[in-house]
Structures are given as C-alpha cells and as structure tokens.
Structure 1
Amino acid sequence: MTNKQLYPELPLLMVDDEPAWLHSMALSLKVSAGINNVIRCSDSREAMRLLQQQSCCLALIDLNMPYVNGEQLLTQIRESYPDIAVIIISGMNQIETAIRCVKAGAEDFYIKTDERERVVSGIMRTLKQIELQRQNRELAERLLQREEVEHPAFARFHTCSGKMHRIFSYLRAIARGYEPVLITGESGTGKELVARSLHQLRCPEKPWIAVNVAGLDDMVFSDTLFGHVKGAFTSADQARKGMIEEAADGILFLDEIGDLAPASQVKLLRLLQEGEYYPLGSDKPRRVRARILFATNQKLKDKVDQGAFRKDLYYRLCAHLIDIPPLRERKEDLPVLMTALVAEAAESFSCAPPLIQQPLLDLLTSYDFPGNVRELRAMVFDAVGRHQDGELSCARFEEVILPAQDVTPASCDLDATMARGTATIRFGPELPTIKQATQALVNEALQRTAGNQSKAAKALGITPQALNKRLKTTE
C-alpha cells in the first residue's frame, strides 16, 4: 500500500489507555496486513467524539480502561453507530465477560497475550465481512433502482442485454473490494474485457498485469508469479520481480486458471489464504498488494468433481463469481454489435462502412455462434474486406452459417434430384392448384425449420422478404 491508497477505505479506530500497545498494534497491522488507515485513541472519553468527526468501519477496544471501560463503550457504539463493527481486546482471559460482550454485539474477543498474528487475522476476517456486506448493500440498491450502467469502463461493450447490464452493476458494487474474482464463460465471450473493466473501475492509474497460466509447469509458474532472489538457481545471476510484485496496488489477471498444474494449485491456495508469498530462494514472506482476478472457459465445478481441481482452491476463487452469457443467449445485441464491428472493420480497411440489411440480421439471428463475439468479429472483418458495393453481402456469412446448420436451398436439391431422375415429389389423382402447392411447400419449409422464416426462405430458394409477402397474402 502507498500513502495515497489507504486500507481500509474507512479507518479502523483503536482505543486503549496504553499508547505503547496502540503503537505496536498499528505497526503489526501495517506490516502484516497492509492496514494503514488507523486512528489511535488513548483516552476512552474521546472515542465517541472521534466517531462523530470521522466515519469508521471497525473499532478495536480495550476492555479494561479508566473513565469509560470497554463494555460501556461497546454499548455506546452499538446504540449510536450500529454499522460499526467492534472487536474487544483484553489483558486477561475473562470468559464470562467475553460472552457478555459478544451477546452485546461485539464481533470477536481477543486476549492481548494471544499471538499477534492471530489477532491480525481476526481483524482481517472482520474487515472482509464488512466489505462483503457493503458490496451486497450497493448491489441491492443498484438492482432495486434498475440503474442504467454508464461508465467509461464499459465503453468497449456494445450491448443492450439485461444480463450484461446486471454484470456491470455487480462489477461496480465489488470494484473497491480485495477478494478474488472468478470470471467464467465460453471462449470469445469477453472475459478479459470484463477483467479490464474492473481495473478501470478500481484503479485505472495502477498496474494491469495479465498472465496466461495454461501450459506453465510448476517451476515456471512460481518464478513467473513470485519472482526470485539472486542465486535462487543456477542461472539466477540477479533478482527478478514476480508478476505479483509488478502488479502492486493494481490488478493481476490470471487467465486459463482451469489448466493450472496440481502442484501450482497448492501454492496459489496458500497465496489466497495467507495473503503472502515467498520469492524463489527467499525465506522472507512478502504481502500481496494486488487484487487478483481469474478467468477460465472450463467448468471448474466439474473439474472439482473429477478430482482435477482442488475443491478448497475453487471456493477461494469464487469469492465473487461472474459468468458471462454466450452470444446465443443475448441475440438482442446483434444489431448494436454489427454496427460497432462494421464501423471498426471499415476504419481498419480505410473505407466507408457498408450498409447492414435486415436479411443479414435475420441470417445471423438463426446462428448460435459457438465462437461467440470473437467469431462474429472475424466474420465481419472478412466480409467488410471483401465487400464491393455499399451493402454488406450475406455471402461470407452464409459460407459459415449454412453448412453449420446443414441447410441448402431446396431449389438446388430439386435441380440435382430432377437431373438424376430421383425426385420424390408425388401427386394424387387430382392435381393441386399452384396456390395450394405453393402454400403446402411454404408450410413444409416452416415446419422443417421450426418456424424460422430466414431458414425457411433459404430452403425455398427465395428471399425472406418474398416469403414474408407470401405469408401475408395467405392470412
């Protein structure tokens, strides 16, 4: 943490009549947990005045103090500032008093003679709970207000999808926290874009470090993340910072986390549990000062069930889970995506953006896009690069979509079967009229394509507009 970046966001108030203990405890919090936003108070009569002047998230109170003791101060704080968490510290192991304090609303009770690390861990645990509660409140408020999310962090997303806007609201609610974030979704849905959005929301001026961990063996993973000291191994002729240190006060993004080797999973688990790491060859731990985001296109829960991914690590990663919907589940985004992608492609090719006609949008709507937005972008760039006139042709898109759907215009099939003398069209004793035959053919095409007019038109060898016109005339 730097002096400019205080943690926690709201200060922690420490009240104790021993200034030396206040000083040593504040130093332990700073060194061990990065907590540098602390107010010290050695006179319990001043505590309530300080809380009036400055909002705090947590009060750490000594039990045995002159003037106002810890129990009395706990009662005053719970009555006047119920949102402030309180932890009681005592010089003696007073079980009955501890029970009374917890019943009165204290989050926890610690003995001064306890190991300092145990007390610090308890304070950190309470701060994380406070942070999660704040995020839940903010998220509930945003959802209740149905807030439209407009922020520069989401400028690269072209969407009108309610699912995506709920994700944006969630990102804004959790941006200030320190818990890990797991981003899941199929390949091409934009997982790194979501991670970059969180970076823009949280600390745009701080480092952004991205590492793809797929294929890294344990040694390379450890050296990449944790770095090493001089002499750590044969070729380590000088010290090197790991990516965690490079990302200090910013964001570390670990992609393809589902491919992490088992030995590396153990090291990552310890990193998340303890908040510290050891550079290779060093016996001095260093604190994590970056927020860590993870992404995968794999179903980690299935890998856990198969024994290929540690269950304890999975639950550590899932402090916040963001699952990005595939493009087939938000096809309402196709018009805005096409407009943006065609404009981007036209700028790349230094040409005027071609027009997007409704038949093309109908064709795209009939396709499920297994490669998601990445696949659509590749198709658009190819089509814009090939186009000859002012309208974007369907031809390039048909080359991908029609074979995938196994739909060939019926006129082609009929020509081929007639040429071979194998056509299967049969008639009864009385011939149908042209109108009856046409209507029967249209009905059959719509039935075979589950009512999809774009697919039916292709199967009939006519345009969607022509099919639509025929349907209207029969209504």
Structure 2
Amino acid sequence: MKILVIDDDAALCRSLQIHLERDGHFVRSCHTAREGMSLHAEGGFDLTFVDLKLPDGSGLDVLKAIRDAESPGLAVMITGTQDMKATIEAVRLGAFDYIRKPLDLEAVLIAVEKAAQEQIRAKSKRRVPLEQAFHPREIVGASRSIVEVIKQVGVLSQNRIPVLIEGESGTGKELVARALHEATSPGKPFVAINCSSVVPTLLESELFGHVRGAFTGADHDKVGRLEHAGEGTVFFDEIGDMAVDLQAKLLRAIQERSFEPVGGVKCIPLRARIVAATHRDVESMVASGAFRGDLYYRLGVSTIRVPPLRERRDDIPLLTSHVLARVSQELHRCVSHVDDKAMRCLQAYDWPGNVRELENVLTRAVLLARTDTLLEDNVAASIGDRPAAYAGPEAPVKTLRDAERDHVERALRSTGWNVTQTAALLDISPTTLRKKIHDYELNAPADK
C-alpha cells in the first residue's frame, strides 16, 4: 500500500515509516497540514494517517481536503488529546479509524490491515457527511471501547433510524443519547421519558397526548411528548420497564410514523427520531414474553453498547479529572490533584454503579479533603463498605506478560477457542493471536 503520514512529530513519522516499510509498504511523511494536502493532491495514496493538531492548522481540514480529492483513499485520525467533538467530526468527514496517542503499533498495523481489506470499496464509495452544526456533550474517555462508542455516534448521526443503547445503570446511556441528538438534530427538542418513573396508566397520555373529555379529569387538550419533540429526539429511558400493552401502541406509531392522541381520531405525524435505552437483558425478556420481540427488533436496528467502567479502567484518571473540575466548582472547593495511591485505589475498585458511582464517591472525597489533593484515605472512606471488590493499592501485581497471558487465555475460553472470534474480541488480527498462543504455550482443551 502507498501510505502518507502527516504529523508534526518527526520521530513518530520516522518510526512509523520504518515499521510500515518493513512490511512492504511505500511510505511518505510530512509535518504540516499544507504540505500534507499538497502531497495528497499528487494522488495515489491508499491510506493517510493525520494528526489532529498540526502547526499550521487542524487535521480536520486535511480530512476535508482528502474527502474532496478525486482519489481520496482512506484516512485515519491520530491525536494525543481528549476531544469527543473532534472524534465525531472526524468520523462524519469520512475517517476510517481514530487512534489515540501514544500510538500502539499493534493498533496501527490493525488499521493498515483493515484498510487493505477495504481499499477497493473505499475508493468506489465515498462517505458524505451531514452539513448540520452540532455541539455534543462530552463523553470522557480514551479507551478503545469508549472511542468506539463515539465513532458509532458519528456514523449514526448520518441517518435517523431508531437506536437502542444498552449498558448497565450509571454508564452514561443518556449522555450518549444526547450526543447522538446534538450530532443529528442540533437546536431541536430532546424529550426524555423515564419509562420506570411514570405510572403506566399515565404513560400513554404522556406519550401520545389526549383530547378534552378523553377520561375523567381531562378538561383540556394535551400535547404528548412525541408531538412536542417535533423533528428532534424522543429518548425512552429504561424501555424495558414499559408495559406490554403500551409497547404495541409505540410499535404502531414507529411503523406508521403517526399516532392518535388518547380519545382522538386525528392522526399526528411522528417526525422525531426514536432512541431507547435499557440496562436489562431484553433478549431474555423477549424469550419470556415480558417484552415484544417485534418492538425490540424495530428499536434495535442499530445498537450501541456502553461499556461498564470496570472494562475501561484506563479512563478513570480522565474521568476523575473531569469530575473533579465540575465538583470542585459546584462545592466551591479547590481540589485539583489526586495522590498516586488514591488513583490506584480508584482503579482497583470494580464500580458496580459505574460512572454515576464514581461521581458520587469523588463528591464525597472532595468534601473530606483538607488540601487541594485527594488522598487514599479520602477515597477509601468514600468507597466504604460498598459491595464490589476493592483490591486496594497494595494488592499483588502480576508481570505484564503473565497478565496478558491470563487475559488471552480467558478470552479464548469465552469463545470456545474460536481464533477468529477471539481475535475480534481482543481487537487484534488472527495472525497476532496465533503468535501469542504459541509464545505463551497455550493449549486448547482436549475436546477442542
């Protein structure tokens, strides 16, 4: 492949050039947006790595130029900063992938491998971004799993199909829904309905509205949430708690793109996008008859899974910094640092309540802090006797090799030693996985 690297870090460019040329690729590199756009305009590059922040401009401008080129090829955005807005914008501009610094060579090689597989299709079909401006709320994180969520938001913002957001309580499902709304329909209403907090007998009227005289106490017409949302978004939080009979009415409204208010006969068009979220296992509910299968499949046209915090512990420092800034301002306290032991304490805890619980713990810890630095005692006292395991900062630490060996072995067991599925789960190539199996002397069970 012919690859272009645009980054102001000369050492990084040289390192990538050495590794990629060793694999047989032709590589050019440059350090400014202007030079990068000039080189790309010469044509023929199959893949371009673009740094977000360049000395003379933004990597997003380079992406725009690549998108509009006669032979655009594929582009991968790389950055060393936390910027959800830029991630979404990069995906909307057609970025093939998004990689965080410091660069993991394995991630780079995987991107190149995927690009090679997609090369022909990418050259024949360009992604056209939406033109709407957007100001999404910040989803904080740099882990691969949360970056994937942000990338999905960018992709799904290019249409208005129903979306189902799955994840445990406290993971930030509504935050994802709002980010999707802001990327798709900025300035339009975002109407949230908590299906578990509204009395079932009143939920129908809340959704569809009612006409005067529809029932006792209905002394005036009422506009429902679906109509009030207009061309914005209706967010059904905890859709799994909706009564089955109301599920049928919601399904009809989604299918027909219209509905009638309670007691009325006039059809009202449904113009809003439908986004739903749940912490429940909806597939099991469908099997037991507690949730309509046809509604589940209609809502689940596209699904976003928000990972629990224990699966992205590397994001805890970023989240902590973000939360501390907000909490310190709200409580009028000047707490801006976290002791190393306190941070290890935070990262060792399993967080059954996820980001919401982290926010609560940090709020209490800030109140307990006597200086501008959170100490281990502040955090440990705030976690207290919570049910999740707290290994503590002094827990024995495995070597990196042993930890990786155990992780690979556990992933293989979870897929029944299916190499292809395990490689996808670990986000590495099957070739890399086979090498790790050999290096770690892992053996499949006798019955495999």
Q: Which residue of the other structure, out of 350, 361, 367, is the alignment partner of 2:343?
A: 361
Matches within 5 A, 1:276-291: 276-291=258-273
Q: Return closer, same or farther for 1:405/1:163 CA change in 2, 3 Å cut-off.
A: closer
Using the TM superposition, give the Cα deviation of residue 156 of structure 1 relative to its aligned residue in structure 2, in angstroms: 2.2
- Alignment partner, residue 250 of structure 1: 232
For the 8 Å contact 1:185–1:325, the answer to whether it is kept is yes
* Aligned counterparts of 1:239 and 1:365: Cα–Cα separation in 2: 53
Partner SS, residue 159 of structure 1: coil
Partners in 1 of 2:388 and 2:156 — Cα distance? 41
Q: CA deviation at 1:316?
A: 0.6
Shift of 1:164: 1.4
Query: Which of residues 204, 229, 234 in structure 1 aligns to 2:216?
Result: 234
CA deviations 1:307-331 (Å, max 9, x no partner) are 2111111101101111100111111
Partner amino acid, structure 1, of 2:256? E
The corresponding residue for 2:362 is 380
What SS is found at the alignment partner of 1:146? Answer: strand
The answer to whether residue 126 in structure 2 is matched with residue 144 in structure 1 is no
Pick the aligned partner of 2:316 from 331, 334, 344: 334
Q: Does 1:205 align with 2:187?
A: yes
Q: How does 1:58-77 map to 2 (within 5 A)?
A: none
Measure how far apart 1:247 and its partner are.
0.4
Q: Give the match's secondary structure for 1:182.
A: strand
The CA deviation at 1:176 is 3.6
Match of 1:268 among 233, 241, 250: 250
1:144 alignment partner AA: F
Greater mean alpha carbon deviation, residues 350-359 or residues 224-233: 350-359
Equivalent residue, structure 1, for 2:166 = 184
Asked if residue 318 in structure 1 is aligned to residue 300 in structure 2, the reply is yes
- Partners of 1:336 and 1:172 lie apart in 2 by 21
Cα deviation 1:65-110 (Å, max 9, x = unaligned)? xxxxxxxxxxxxxxxxxxxxxxxxxxxxxxxxxxxxxxxxxxxxxx
The CA deviation at 1:184 is: 1.0
Cα offset, 1:224, TM superposition? 0.5
Structure 1: stretches of 5+ with no match in the other structure = 1-137, 410-441, 453-475
What do residues 178-229 of structure 1 show as CA deviations (whole Å, max 9, x unaligned)?
Answer: 2211111111110111111111111221111111111545531210011011
Residue 265 of structure 1 deviates from its aligned partner by: 1.0
Identity %: 36
8 Å Cα contact 1:217-1:261 kept in structure 2: no
Does residue 171 (structure 1) correspond to residue 123 (structure 2)? The answer is no
Retained in 2: the 8 A contact 1:222–1:280? yes
CA distance in 2, matches of 1:290, 1:256: 19
The answer for the alignment partner of 1:391 in structure 2 is: 373
Following TM superposition, by how much is the alpha carbon of 1:387 offset from its aligned partner in structure 2, in angstroms?
Answer: 0.9
Aligned residue for 1:300? Answer: 282
How far apart are the structure 1 equivalents of 2:346 and 2:296? 36
| Residue pair 1:256, 1:295 contacting (<8 A) in 2 also | yes
Separation of aligned partners in 2, 1:220 and 1:161: 41
1:142 touches 1:169 (CA, 8 Å); kept in 2?
Answer: no
In structure 2, do the counterparts of structure 1 residues 239 and 147 end up closer, same or farther at CA, with 3 Å as the change threshold? farther
- Using the TM superposition, give the Cα deviation of residue 251 of structure 1 relative to its aligned residue in structure 2, in angstroms: 0.9
- Output the CA distance in 2 between the equivalents of 1:205 and 1:316: 26
Q: Hey, what's the Cα distance between the residues in 2 that align with 1:344 and 1:152?
A: 23
Deviates more, 1:241-250 or 1:340-349: 340-349
Instruction: Check 1:152–1:284 CA distance in 2 against 1; reply closer, same or farther (3 A cut).
Output: closer
Once the two structures are superposed, residues 11-38 of structure 1 have per-residue CA deviations (whole angstroms, 9 ceiling, x without a partner) of xxxxxxxxxxxxxxxxxxxxxxxxxxxx
Tell me if structure 1 keeps the 8 A contact 2:213–2:263. yes
The Cα of 1:450 is off from its aligned counterpart by 6.4
- Deviates further, 139-148 or 384-393: 139-148
2:325 to 343, 349, 360: 343
Q: How many residues align?
A: 277
Cα distance in 1 for partners of 2:134, 2:160 equals 22
Matches of 2:390 and 2:219 in 1, distance apart?
Answer: 63
| Greater C-alpha Rg | 1
* Distance of 2:273 and 2:144 partners within structure 1: 27
The structure-2 alpha-carbon separation of the partners of 1:140 and 1:302, relative to structure 1 and needing over 3 Å to count, comes to farther
The secondary structure found in structure 1 opposite 2:264 is: coil
Q: How far, CA to CA, are the matches of 1:349 and 1:237 in structure 2?
A: 45
Matched residue type, 2:187: E
- TM-superposed CA distance for 1:398, in Å, is 1.5
Deviation at 1:140, TM superposition (A): 11
| Matched-pair contact (CA < 8 Å) for 1:229–1:238 | yes
In structure 2, the partner of 1:95 is none
Aligned partners of 2:221 and 2:391: how far apart in 1?
63
CA distance in 2 between counterparts of 1:203 and 1:141 reads: 17
CA shift in 2, pair 1:388/1:216, >3 Å: closer
CA distance in 2, matches of 1:141, 1:337: 27
Q: Structure 1 residues 353 and 216, CA, compared in 2 at 3 Å: closer, same or farther?
A: closer
Pairing 1:442-461 to 2, within 5 Å after superposition: 446=396
Between the aligned partners of 1:163 and 1:208, the Cα distance in structure 2 is 26
Cα contact 1:402–1:408 (8 A) shared by 2: no
Which SS does the other structure have where 2:337 is aligned? coil
Contact in 2 for aligned 1:229/1:282 (Cα 8 Å): yes
Task: Name the CA shift for 1:406/1:315 in 2 (closer, same or farther; >3 Å).
Answer: closer
TM-score by length of 2: 0.57
RMSD over aligned Cα, in angstroms? 2.7
Q: What is the aligned partner in structure 1 of residue 175 from structure 2?
A: 193
- 1:354–1:384 contact (8 Å) kept in structure 2: no
Provide the C-alpha distance between the structure 1 equivalents of 2:244 and 2:391, rounded to a whole number of angstroms.
Answer: 48
Instruction: Give per-residue Cα distances to partners, 1:226-282, cap 9 Å, x unaligned.
Output: 101122223222111000110011111111100011111111111111111110111
Q: Structure 2: how far apart are the matches of 1:308 and 1:263? A: 11
Superposed displacement of residue 406, structure 1: 6.7
Change (3 A) 1:202 1:211: same
Q: Please give the alpha-carbon distance, in whole angstroms, between the structure 2 residues aligned to 1:407 and 1:170.
A: 32
How far the C-alpha of 1:401 sits from its partner, in A, is: 4.7
1:354 offset after TM fit, Å?
3.9
Asked whether the equivalents of residues 158 and 184 of structure 2 are also in contact (C-alpha less than 8 Å), the reply is yes
Classify the secondary structure of the residue corresponding to 1:209: strand
